[in-house]
Structure 1
Amino acid sequence: MLQNGLIMVAIIFVINIVYVSFFTIRMILTLKGYRYLAAFVSVFEVLIYVLGLGLVINHLNQVQNLMAYALGYGFGVICGMKIEEKLALGYITVNVITSRIKENFTESIREKGYGVTEWVAHGRSGERLMMEILTPRRNERNLMDTIKQLDPNAFIISHEPRNFHGGFWVKTIGKRLAP
Structure 2
Amino acid sequence: MLDNAIIMILIILSVNVFYVSFSTMRVILTLKGRKYIAAVIGMFEITIYTLGLGLVLQNLERIENLVAYALGYGIGVIVGSKIEEKLALGYITVNVVSKDPELSFTRQLRDKGYGVTSWIAYGMDGDRLSMQILTPRKYELQLYQAIQEIDPKAFIITYEPKQIHGGFWVKQVRKGRLFKNVKKPQEK
How do 1:22-101 residues align onto structure 2 when only pairs under 5 Å count?
22-101=22-101
> 2:130 aligns to what SS in structure 1?
strand
**Higher deviation after alignment, 95-104 or 37-46:** 95-104
Count of residues in correspondence between the two structures = 175
Please list, as runs of the form range in 1=range in 2, the aligned pairs for 1:162-173 lying within 5 A after superposition: 162-171=162-171
Q: In percent, how many aligned pairs have the same letter?
A: 58
**One-letter code aligned to 1:140:** E
Q: What is the rounded CA distance, in whole Å, between the counterparts of 1:57 and 1:173 in structure 2?
A: 49
Counterpart Cα distance in 2 of 1:41 and 1:166: 31
Q: CA offset at residue 102 of structure 1? A: 2.4
Q: How far apart are 1:172 and its partner, in Å? A: 6.1
2:103–2:129 contact (8 Å) kept in structure 1: no
Amino acid at match of 1:42: G
What CA distance in whole angstroms lies between the structure 1 residues aligned with 2:4 and 2:75? 23
Amino acid at match of 1:17: V
Counterparts of 1:20 and 1:172 in 2: how far apart (Å)?
Answer: 36
CA deviation profile, 1:137-166 (whole Å, cap 9, x unmatched): 111111011101111100000000112222
Structure 1 residues 172 and 48 mapped into 2: Cα distance closer, same or farther (>3 Å)?
farther
Q: CA deviation at 1:100?
A: 1.9
Aligned to 2:144: 144
1: CA distance, partners of 2:172 / 2:48: 35
Q: In the alignment, what sits opposite 1:155?
A: 155
- Aligned equivalents of 1:171, 1:40: Cα separation in 2: 30
Q: Deviations over 1:99-142 (max 9, x none)?
A: 12226111111111101000000000100000000000111111
- DSSP-derived class of the 2:45 partner: helix
Q: Which runs of 5+ in 1 are unaligned?
A: none
Partner of 2:9: 9
Task: Confirm or deny that 1:133 pairs with 2:137.
Answer: no
* TM-score, L = length of structure 2: 0.89
Q: How high is the TM-score relative to the length of structure 1?
A: 0.94
Q: Deviations over 1:18-60 (max 9, x none)?
A: 0000000000000000010000110100111001001000111
RMSD: 1.4
